[in-house]
C-alpha cells in the first residue's frame, strides 16, 4: 500500500488524518454544489421560470442515477477500506474490478428501461404544461448519459476508499470545471438552454470517469479496472450489497421524498417549486460540506475498525466537534443574508420571499442532518447492514405521513416544516441505534453514548 496513504490511515494524528480524508471530500462536494447552483444561475439569466421549474423537477431522477453509483461505490468502498486494514490486497483488486464493470452495466440498464418510458417519467416527476417540454429534454439527456454518471459516483467512492483523497477531490473538481465551462458555452454561445445544461453535466461526468479510470490503471497499487481481476463471488456480493443496498435505498428515498415534496408544492404554483429549487440548491452547499466531512472519514473509520478501534473512537469524537462548529457558522450566515442569496438567482420579489423563508426553516436542521450522516457513515464503515438499512428508510417513512398532516393543518408552511420534522426523527433513531449497539461495537462508540 502507498506509504503516504498508509501513514494517514495508521499513524498520523487524528486531526491531521481527518483533515487529509475529509477536507478534499468537502472541497469536492462543495464544488459539486457550486456547479449545481451555476446550472440554476445560467438558466436564470434566460428569465424563464418554466426552465427553473424543470431543473427542480429533475432532482429526483438525478438522485436515482446517483443511487445506482452509490449502490456499488459505497458498498465496494467501505469493503475495500476494511480489507486494506486486514492487508487483503488481492481481494481489493477483485472488488475494484467488480465495481467498475457492474457500474457500467447498471447504467446501461437504467438507460434501456428509462428511455421507452420517457413520457411516463416526466409526468411522474410532476411536470406542468409549461415545464413539460423542458423537463423531457433534461430527462432524455440524463438517461442517455446514465452509464457514465453511475460510473463517476462509483469510481469516486472506491478511489477515496484507498486513501487517495486528493485524487478523489481532483476528479470531482475536474468535473465541476468542465461543467461550468460547458454551461457558459451552451447557454451564451449555442443557446441550447435546458438541453445544453443537461449535456454539460453528462460530459463533465464522462471526463471525470476517464480521469479516475486512468488513475486506477496507471497509478494505483491495488485498485484496478482490468477485467481479468473481475470476480463476483458470494462473499464479494454479500459484503458490497450489505452496505450498498441501504445506501441505494436511502438515495431512492431521497429522490422519492423530493418527488413527493414537489407534488405538494405544485398546489402552490410554479413559483413555490422554483423557490424550493433555488433554496434547496443553496442548502446543498453547507449540507454537502458536512456530508463531505462525514463521508470523507468513512474510509478511515472502516480501516480503523479492523486495525485500531481506539483510533476509530477518537476519529468519531473529533468529527462530532467539527460538525457542531460548521453547522453553527453556516446557520449564522444564512440567518443574516438569506434574501441576498436568493436574489442572486431571481429578481422576482415573490420568489425571493418564498425562497428566503424556506432557507430559514430548513437551516434549522443542519446540525441534525450532519449528525445523521455521521451515524449512517459509522454503520456503513463497521458493516452494520441492518442499522444502515433502517437509517436509509426512516426519514422517508417519517416524511410522507408528516407531509400529509402538515399540509392539511398549515398549508405551505406545514409542507416546508415537514422536512425539519423528518430530519429530527432520523437523528433520534440513529442515536438510539448507536446506544443499542454500544456493547457490540465497543470501544469505538463509547464516545457517542457517554
CA atoms within 13 A on the CB side of 433: 21
What is the extent of the structural domain holding 276? 3-449
pTM to 2 decimals? 0.74
Letter string b/e over residues 50-77, b meaning 16 or more CB atoms within 10 A of that residue's CB = bbbbbbbbbbbbbbbbbbbbbbbbbbbb
268-310: pLDDT as tens digits? 777 777 778 777 777 777 888 888 888 888 888 888 887 777 8
Percentage, residues of the chain above pLDDT 70? 94
pLDDT in tens, 199-236: 988 999 999 999 999 999 998 888 989 888 888 888 88
Instruction: Indicate the average pLDDT of the chain.
Output: 83
What grid cell was written down for 307? 486495525
Q: Of 42-46, 383-387, 439-443, which range is least confident? A: 439-443
- CA 312 – CA 315 distance, rounded (Å): 5
* Side-chain half-sphere CA neighbours of 302 within 13 A: 33
| pLDDT higher than threshold 90 for residue 354 | no
Three cell numbers, residue 284: 446543498
User: Taking the C-alpha atoms of 384, 150, 213 and 161 in order, what is their torsion angle to the nearest 10 degrees?
Assistant: -20
What cell was used for 215? 488513475
Which pLDDT value is given to residue 282? 77
Please state the rounded mean pLDDT for residues 320-337: 86
All 3 cell numbers of residue 39? 446550472
Question: Contact at 8 Å (CB) between 292 and 22?
Answer: yes
Domain total for the chain? 1
- Considering only residues 266 and 313, tell me which one the structure prediction assigns the higher pLDDT: 313
Distance between CA 273 and CA 268 in Å, rounded? 8
Res 444 pLDDT > 50: no
- The answer to whether the CB of 193 falls within 8 A of the CB of 134 is yes
Q: Is 36 left (phi over 0), alpha (psi -120 to 50) or beta?
A: alpha
- At 242-277, the pLDDT tens digits run 878 877 877 777 667 777 777 787 777 777 777 787
Non-local CB neighbours of 245 within 8 Å, separated by 6+ positions: 71, 75, 385, 389
pLDDT in tens, 142-156: 999 999 999 999 998
Q: What's the pLDDT tens digit per position in 168-197? A: 889 988 988 898 899 889 888 888 878 888
Question: Residue 77's pLDDT is what?
Answer: 87
Whole-number Å distance between alpha carbons of 64 and 201: 15
Residue 447 has pLDDT above 60, yes or no: no
Say what the pLDDT of residue 60 is. 77
DSSP assignment letter at 187: I
What's the half-sphere exposure (Cβ side, CA atoms, 13 Å) at 363? 25
Amino acid at each position: 500500500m502507498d506509504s503516504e496513504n498508509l501513514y494517514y490511515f495508521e499513524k498520523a494524528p487524528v486531526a491531521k488524518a481527518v483533515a487529509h480524508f475529509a477536507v478534499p471530500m468537502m472541497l469536492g462536494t462543495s464544488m459539486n454544489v457550486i456547479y449545481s447552483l451555476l446550472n440554476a444561475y445560467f438558466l436564470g439569466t434566460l428569465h424563464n421560470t418554466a426552465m427553473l421549474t424543470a431543473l427542480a423537477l429533475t432532482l429526483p431522477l438525478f438522485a436515482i442515477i446517483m443511487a445506482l453509483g452509490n449502490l456499488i461505490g459505497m458498498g465496494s468502498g467501505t469493503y475495500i477500506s476494511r480489507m486494506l486494514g486486514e492487508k487483503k490486497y488481492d481481494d481489493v483488486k477483485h472488488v475494484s474490478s467488480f465495481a467498475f464493470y457492474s457500474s457500467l452495466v447498471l447504467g446501461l440498464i437504467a438507460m434501456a428501461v428509462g428511455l421507452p418510458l420517457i413520457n411516463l417519467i416526466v409526468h411522474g416527476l410532476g411536470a406542468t404544461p409549461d415545464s413539460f417540454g423542458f423537463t423531457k429534454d433534461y430527462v432524455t439527456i440524463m438517461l442517455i448519459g446514465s452509464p457514465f454518471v453511475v460510473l463517476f459516483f462509483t469510481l469516486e467512492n472506491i478511489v477515496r476508499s484507498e486513501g487517495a483523497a486528493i485524487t478523489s477531490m481532483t476528479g470531482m473538481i475536474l468535473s465541476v470545471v468542465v461543467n461550468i465551462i460547458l454551461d457558459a458555452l451552451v447557454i451564451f454561445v449555442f443557446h441550447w438552454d435546458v438541453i445544453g445544461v443537461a449535456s454539460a453535466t453528462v460530459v463533465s461526468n464522462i471526463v471525470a470517469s476517464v480521469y479516475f479510470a486512468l488513475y486506477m490503471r496507471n497509478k494505483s497499487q491495488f485498485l484496478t479496472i482490468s477485467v481479468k481481476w473481475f470476480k463476483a463471488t458470494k462473499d464479494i456480493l454479500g459484503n458490497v450489497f450489505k452496505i450498498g443496498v441501504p445506501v441505494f435505498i436511502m438515495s431512492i428515498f431521497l429522490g422519492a421524498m423530493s418527488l413527493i415534496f414537489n407534488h405538494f408544492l405544485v398546489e402552490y404554483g410554479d413559483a413555490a417549486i422554483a423557490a424550493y429549487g433555488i433554496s434547496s440548491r443553496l442548502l446543498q452547499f453547507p449540507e454537502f460540506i458536512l456530508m463531505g466531512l462525514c463521508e470523507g472519514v468513512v474510509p478511515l473509520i472502516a480501516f480503523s475498525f479492523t486495525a485500531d478501534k481506539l483510533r476509530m473512537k477518537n476519529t468519531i469524537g473529533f468529527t462530532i466537534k467539527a460538525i457542531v462548529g460548521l453547522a453553527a457558522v453556516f446557520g449564522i450566515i444564512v440567518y443574516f443574508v438569506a434574501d441576498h442569496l436568493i436574489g442572486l438567482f431571481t429578481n422576482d420579489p415573490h420568489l425571493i420571499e418564498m425562497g428566503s423563508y424556506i432557507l430559514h426553516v430548513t437551516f434549522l436542521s443542519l446540525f441534525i442532518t450532519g449528525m445523521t450522516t455521521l451515524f449512517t457513515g459509522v454503520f456503513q464503515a463497521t458493516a452494520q447492514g441492518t442499522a444502515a438499512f433502517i437509517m436509509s428508510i426512516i426519514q422517508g417513512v417519517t416524511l410522507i405521513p408528516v407531509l400529509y398532516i402538515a399540509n392539511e393543518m398549515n398549508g405551505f408552511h406545514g409542507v416546508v416544516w415537514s422536512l425539519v420534522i423528518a430530519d429530527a426523527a432520523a437523528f433520534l433513531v440513529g442515536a438510539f441505534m448507536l446506544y443499542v449497539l454500544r456493547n457490540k461495537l465497543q470501544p469505538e462508540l463509547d464516545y457517542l453514548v457517554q
